[in-house]
Amino acid sequence: MSQANPLQVPNVHQGEPIPDSAREAIEALMQSGDLFRYTAPQDAPVSLLESEFAALLGSKYALAVSSCSAALFLALKALDLPRDARVLIPGFTFAAVPSSVVHADCVPVLCEVGENYRINMADFEARLDEDIAAVIISHMRGHTSDMDAIMALCQARDIPVVEDAAHSLGTTWHGRNIGTLGQIGCFSFQSYKMLNAGEGGILVTDDADIVARAVIMSGAYEHNWQKHKPAPGDNGTELEEAFARWQNLLPLYNLRMSNLSAAVIRPQIPELARRVADGRKNHDYVAARLNAHANFHVPAPLASEERAPDSIQFNLVDMDDAQIEAFAAATAAKGVKVQIFGRSSDNARAFWNWQFLKDLPELPETRAMLMKACDVRLPVRLTQGELDVIADILLSAATETMARVAA
Ligand SMILES: Cc1ncc(COP(=O)(O)O)c(C=O)c1O
């Protein structure tokens, strides 16, 4: 075991450098001042990003916007849900998800999430019959819930599924890209994601009517929608008819992406496969080390899932509240900040902190998981030596904490 030294603890908040090839595109934008996506007659960086991203995922359409939160909001608006429509979401997600539901004038309904961070399917099924108009599946921290069961239950009831794939770019389910299983998939380009633009988001769909509505509401005023390309091989009639159907009928929320963000993202796309492979290798290496210790459990992926992690989650086993608090303090003292979702104050992933919701429910199973589930970032650039520093600190903190108790 290597000797843990706080000075050698890697900075887990630092991402990979943006590829050098971004500089030329950014310099050209600086020279021309052409930062607005709809100024150029065609092939603006945002349009090119949309084509490239749709091709990458195997979707017909993509719409780049200012954040994944904006994509989720537009997804709900594009589904044309009536005011106060009930939208089923997991009780373990980021506060942006219930917020997007509230923003779309809908009502979030929360369901239980189990100790493997995935939706409790019995609870999901029971709540699906409580007058639910749409579902958002958050693949929280890239953990995929049982999408076969979810899609079958929702299709049987004709309920649309929006996938919140903020953390799931590169994850597959039966070999299919996460984000392309539901009617709409939403992704984030915020800095802690596989493709980093600081801020940004994108939605994908195969539905011309949905994308036309989302494009217009994202801020394609007048006839700017003409700069959105049909899917390759399409003659464009279906998309054009959809745009014509919605012309002047929808409010503009102006959630567009800037060309600068697209210029930062596009050169990272060729890096994605390598980042996914490195992220998975790093995660599985640390997971194996943690799982060899009696006080840690890293839940296994589901059989149909190939993950693309850039962080690790694990549950503390056979530790009481005092021991969990002591473990958290010990890791922090050694230089690794472990976030225990339910124990850091005002954590945005703990449902009881979403006090902007009326009638916040109690979710005992989700709460129990959040009180012992730990979160540590593992940026894909980390070396095995750096992973060992992190793993050594986690393991030694647990061993020392439990030895103190035994003494
Ligand atoms: C699960 C989940 N959904 C949605 C979002 C929102 O993403 P953005 O910051 O791009 O709005 C986040 C942010 O990290 C997230 O963790």
pLDDT at 407: 74
- Asked if residue 177 and residue 48 are part of one domain, the reply reads yes
**Ligand 1 within 6 A of 75 CB?**
no
Last residue of a domain, one of 231, 252, 269: 269
Last residue of a domain, one of 234, 269, 304: 269
DSSP 21: T
- Asked if residue 220 and residue 278 are part of one domain, the reply reads no
Instruction: Tell me whether residue 1 is in a domain.
Output: no
Residue pair 59/232 in contact (Cβ under 8 Å)? The answer is no
**Ligand 1 within 6 A of 188 CB?**
yes
- Asked if residue 190 and residue 41 are part of one domain, the reply reads yes
- Asked if residue 338 and residue 196 are part of one domain, the reply reads no
Between the CA of 136 and the centroid of ligand 1 the distance, in Å, is 13
Q: 180: domain CATH number? A: 3.40.640.10
Measured in degrees and rounded to the nearest 5, phi and psi for residue 134 equal: -160, 160
- Asked if residue 237 and residue 112 are part of one domain, the reply reads yes
pLDDT at 232: 83
> Which of 94, 187, 203 is the best mutation target for the ligand 1 pocket, counting ligand atoms within 8 Å of the beta carbon and taking the most?
94
Residue pair 87/135 in contact (Cβ under 8 Å)? The answer is yes
pLDDT at 7: 52
Residue pair 189/196 in contact (Cβ under 8 Å)? The answer is yes
Instruction: Tell me whether residue 7 is in a domain.
Output: no
Between the CA of 41 and the centroid of ligand 1 the distance, in Å, is 32
**Ligand 1 within 6 A of 201 CB?**
yes
Residue pair 293/395 in contact (Cβ under 8 Å)? The answer is yes
pLDDT at 367: 98
**Ligand 1 within 6 A of 117 CB?**
no
pLDDT at 236: 81
- Asked if residue 111 and residue 226 are part of one domain, the reply reads yes
Q: 385: domain CATH number? A: 3.90.1150.10
Residue 363's domain comprises 271-406
Last residue of a domain, one of 269, 290, 316: 269
Between the CA of 399 and the centroid of ligand 1 the distance, in Å, is 34
**Ligand 1 within 6 A of 389 CB?**
no
Instruction: Tell me whether residue 3 is in a domain.
Output: no
- Asked if residue 52 and residue 108 are part of one domain, the reply reads yes
Q: pLDDT tens digit string along 211-225?
A: 999 999 999 999 999
Between the CA of 36 and the centroid of ligand 1 the distance, in Å, is 24
Instruction: Tell me whether residue 149 is in a domain.
Output: yes
- Asked if residue 44 and residue 165 are part of one domain, the reply reads yes
Between the CA of 186 and the centroid of ligand 1 the distance, in Å, is 9
What does each C-alpha distance from 84 to 80, 108, 127, 161, 287 come to in angstroms? 12, 9, 16, 17, 42
Instruction: Tell me whether residue 360 is in a domain.
Output: yes
Between the CA of 70 and the centroid of ligand 1 the distance, in Å, is 10
Instruction: Tell me whether residue 167 is in a domain.
Output: yes
- Asked if residue 286 and residue 200 are part of one domain, the reply reads no
Residue pair 201/188 in contact (Cβ under 8 Å)? The answer is yes
Q: Which atom of ligand 1 is nearest to the CA of 349?
A: 16
- Asked if residue 278 and residue 223 are part of one domain, the reply reads no
Residue pair 341/373 in contact (Cβ under 8 Å)? The answer is yes
**Ligand 1 within 6 A of 100 CB?**
no
pLDDT at 405: 75
CA separation for the pair 4, 288 (Å, rounded): 19
Between the CA of 69 and the centroid of ligand 1 the distance, in Å, is 6
- Asked if residue 72 and residue 209 are part of one domain, the reply reads yes
Regions of the chain with pLDDT less than 70: 1-7
Number of domains the chain contains: 2
* Four-residue CA torsion sign, 75, 361, 340, 92: negative
Instruction: Tell me whether residue 121 is in a domain.
Output: yes
Q: Which atom of ligand 1 is nearest to the CA of 201?
A: 10
Instruction: Tell me whether residue 12 is in a domain.
Output: no
- Asked if residue 123 and residue 41 are part of one domain, the reply reads yes
Residues ≥6 apart with Cβ < 8 Å to 81? 87, 104, 106, 133, 134
